[in-house]
Amino acid sequence: MPVEFLNHKGLFLLMRIKMNENSVNWHSWQWQVSNSIFSTRQLKMLLGDSPWAELPQKVEKIYPVKITPYYLSLVDPDDPNDPIARQSFPDIEEIETEVVQDSSEDPLNEHEHMVLPGLIHRYPDRVLLLAAHECAVRCRHCNRKRTWRRPEAIRNMEQIDEVCRYLREHPDIREVILSGGDPLMLPLEFLEQMLRKIKEVSSVEVIRIGTRVPVTLPMKITEGLVDLLKRYRPLWVNTHFNHPLEITKWSRRACEMLLCAGIPVSNQTVLLKGVNDRTAVLKELFTTLQAMMVRPYYLFQCDKVMGTDHFRVPLSIGIEIMEDLWCKIGGLCMPKFVVDLPEGGGKALTMPRHLLAIHEGEAIFRTLEGRKVRYLEPAGSD
């Protein structure tokens, strides 16, 4: 029975949806998709007298709402600081900060590096393909919010052929990253054809899929999908957990299925105000992910994207958290803290500073405990 997967709040929601248990096919991703929440009105109705029910109506006109029943069931409607709600419920700040801040729709200048529709070639050896338009849940902090109303993703096989032609003309490209949108929301035949065509380009060594499906719609990771993906190895899946509450038996199972098929799973987290901007939260997230064999890869500073400004925290908070965690949790739990620079500057590492000075064959380091330690360079260096 699906009910066993619902907490009491989820059940409460279920009642409001006026569904009976028998009509709920919780483990079916098709059911999840067709029963997703698509409007603020619907969301308000489900929330009843929860503190979250005061949702603004006008945000969805600019930034639509989309939440799977599964992801919604993780929300504790009585918690006004609920991190799942904050990531998925419309917030008036999305449209208000837009006016006062100088945030841009495309601060990373993806358009400037778009060599073909949907194909971004920013770094020498890898390209990012906007392979899909849809996502299971519209994350309020999405850094490609601009594409929600104006899709930029490729749509047909002809475009994929063009992409493959570009790849053949640029044999230095050894990795193709499928992003979007969420490539795992594509119809399987389309996904398969795309993977096959890309794989046929002999200079492409690795395919990476960026997907939030394991977090927002984990039942989409089916045996059929995993069988398909594993035929295109070496293939990496990079997912997007932001909070320990997103780790459930469902999301664990999704990651486990991928891992058991020989598909490594890594994770990128976005540092988000009011969601995960505390050491204890990120410590639990990173260590739990490592225990699931999902490697924390990047912690991203939230980009200066229009409609997400209320999620940004000062860089110093991220650095402080990384400092707090450094060496206290294992290196395999530690992501790199990265800022994707404005004006298309690319990714920049932002880490605590342990090397204080280096001069005339001598380096001064700061230890974990704050002590200074001298390190002598090999003789003859300066």
Ligand X SMILES: *Cc1c(COP(=O)(O)O)cnc(C)c1O
Q: Is 212 in the site for ligand SF4 (CB under 6 A)?
A: yes
Q: Is 208 in the site for ligand SF4 (CB under 6 A)?
A: no
Contacts of 91 (CB under 8 A, 6+ apart): 56, 59, 140, 310
- Range in contact with ligand SF4 (rule: CB under 6 A) among 5-13, 18-26, 178-186, 258-266: 178-186
**Cβ–Cβ contacts within 10 Å for residue 99, how many?**
7
Options 9, 86, 122, 220; binder of ligand X; rule CB under 6 A: 122
Options 27, 44, 126, 197; binder of ligand X; rule CB under 6 A: 126
Distance between CA atoms of 242 and 7, rounded to whole angstroms? 20
CB of 343 to ligand X, least distance (A): 13
Q: What is the DSSP string of 150-208?
A: S--S--SHHHHHHHHHHHHH-TT--EEEEESS-GGGS-HHHHHHHHHHHHTSTT--EEE
Instruction: Quote helix, strand, coil % in the chain, to nearest 5.
Output: 40, 20, 40
CA-based nearest residue to 165, from 107, 137, 204? 204
Instruction: Pick one of ligand X, ligand SF4, none as the site partner of residue 263 (Cβ within 5 to 8 A by kind).
Output: none
Subset of residues 172 to 191 that bind ligand X, contact rule: CB under 6 A:
177
Specify the residue, 229 or 339, whose C-beta has the smaller distance to ligand X.
339
If binding means CB under 6 A, how many residues of this protein chain bind ligand X? 7
- Range in contact with ligand SF4 (rule: CB under 6 A) among 40-48, 49-57, 180-188, 295-303: 180-188
Options 9, 86, 138, 310; binder of ligand SF4; rule CB under 6 A: 138
Q: How many CA atoms lie within 13 A of 209 on its CB side?
A: 29
Contacts of 64 (CB under 8 A, 6+ apart): 38, 138, 148, 149
Instruction: Pick one of ligand SF4, ligand X, none as the site partner of residue 212 (Cβ within 5 to 8 A by kind).
Output: ligand SF4
Q: Is 59 in the site for ligand SF4 (CB under 6 A)?
A: no
Instruction: Pick one of ligand SF4, ligand X, none as the site partner of residue 135 (Cβ within 5 to 8 A by kind).
Output: ligand SF4
CA-based nearest residue to 162, from 189, 201, 125, 134? 201
CB of 148 to ligand SF4, least distance (A): 8
CA-based nearest residue to 11, from 157, 265, 24? 24
Q: How many CA atoms lie within 13 A of 153 on its CB side?
A: 20
CB of 305 to ligand X, least distance (A): 13
Subset of residues 138 to 177 that bind ligand X, contact rule: CB under 6 A:
177
Asked whether the beta carbons of 192 and 164 are under 8 A apart, the reply is: no
Q: Is 142 in the site for ligand SF4 (CB under 6 A)?
A: yes
Asked whether the beta carbons of 21 and 3 are under 8 A apart, the reply is: yes
Q: Is 184 in the site for ligand SF4 (CB under 6 A)?
A: no
Specify the residue, 167 or 177, whose C-beta has the smaller distance to ligand X.
177
* Residues annotated catalytic, as ranges: 122-123, 126, 135, 139, 142, 144, 303, 340, 347
* DSSP-assigned letter for residue 53: G
Q: Is 339 in the site for ligand X (CB under 6 A)?
A: no
Q: Is 312 in the site for ligand SF4 (CB under 6 A)?
A: no
Specify the residue, 76 or 182, whose C-beta has the smaller distance to ligand SF4.
182
As separate numbers, helices (DSSP H) first and strands (DSSP E) second, the chain gives 15, 13
- Range in contact with ligand SF4 (rule: CB under 6 A) among 3-11, 35-43, 47-55, 176-184: 176-184
β-strands 294-301, 235-239 pairing: unpaired
Geometric angle at alpha carbon 107, from 176 and 104, rounded to 5°:
140
- Range in contact with ligand SF4 (rule: CB under 6 A) among 132-140, 286-294, 330-338, 354-362: 132-140
CB of 215 to ligand SF4, least distance (A): 8
Please give the residue ranges that form the binding site for ligand SF4 (CB under 6 A): 135, 138-139, 142, 144, 180-182, 212
Please give the residue ranges that form the binding site for ligand X (CB under 6 A): 120, 122-123, 126, 128, 177, 347
